[in-house]
Amino acid sequence: METEELIKADDFCTHYEVDYSLIESLQDTGFIEVVFIEETYYLHSSQLRLLEKLVRLHQELGINLAGIEAITYLLERHEAMQSELRSLRNRLRLYESNL
């Protein structure tokens, strides 16, 4: 794995003024994956958007990890339902155009 795709966890914590324990907690709950290479912890750049959102929920809104888990679950369900709704609408249009 190339380090170009990775961001140093220390750099992320410094930039967002967050303690590394939050990163560890998010890793323990399975939200993110932390990679250990040559005595340094790294975050995948593909997880950056999710990680920023989780940090904002925690810092700006004061939501604890259990609350973040619940919110994330509900947002994922909402997105799945939106996708299903789009699919059903497309199928309905197909049936309506064949009438």
Give the CATH number of domain 3-97.
1.10.1660.10
Contact 22/51 with Cβ under 8 angstroms?
A: no
pLDDT in tens, 24-82: 999 999 999 999 999 999 999 999 999 999 999 999 999 999 999 999 999 999 999 99
CA distance 4 to 83: 33
6-22 pLDDT tens trace:
999 999 999 999 999 99
Given phi > 0 = left and psi -120 to 50 = alpha, else beta, which region is 42?
Answer: beta
Instruction: Look at the pTM and tell me if it is higher than 0.85.
Output: no
> What are the structural domain ranges in the chain?
3-97
